[in-house]
Structure 1
Amino acid sequence: MSVAGETGGRAQQMRQKAQEMEQAAERVNDPQERQRLKDKAQRLRQQSEQESSMGGGGSRDIDPMM
């Protein structure tokens, strides 16, 4: 699998996990726990978007001076 494919798969997994956290947050009765889950889901979603747009973790390993 290519690096781009791995990145897309990882970003997809992160988005799916974020969706699951949001759904779990809707089922929680404790408002603080609900907010914590929603915040975590939002951070995961933002991270997945960053990885998608940056080409994933592999692109950070490339020396720009080469």
Structure 2
Amino acid sequence: MSIAGESGRAQQMRDKAQQLSEAAEQSTDPRRRQRLQEKARKLQDQSEVERGLGADDGRPSR
């Protein structure tokens, strides 16, 4: 996969996390709100990992 593809995937995950966060804010059911917030957090974390992998040039850092 190309670096552009990896960053595009990370962006898609961030966008979805934002949508989930907004849905959580609008939810009146506390359980649903919590589930949506947790999903959003997981996607955001995953997108950060993806972004980090995309920036890795394969050389060890010192």
Instruction: Tell me the TM-score normalized by structure 1.
Output: 0.79
Instruction: Spell out the pairing of 1:38-49 with structure 2 (5 A cutoff).
Output: 38-49=37-48
User: 2:4 matched to 1:10?
Assistant: no
Give, in whole Å, the separation in 2 of the partners of 1:27 and 1:52: 29
Moved over 2 A (4+): none
Give the Å deviation of 1:18. Answer: 0.1
1:50 maps to 49
Give the Å deviation of 1:55. Answer: 2.1
1:35 maps to 34
1:25 maps to 24
After superposition, give the CA deviation of every residue in 1:18-56 in whole Å (9 maximum; x if it has no partner): 000000001111001000000000000000000110129
Identity of aligned residues (%): 48
Equivalences, count: 56
Give, in whole Å, the separation in 2 of the partners of 1:13 and 1:45: 10
Give, in whole Å, the separation in 2 of the partners of 1:8 and 1:54: 9
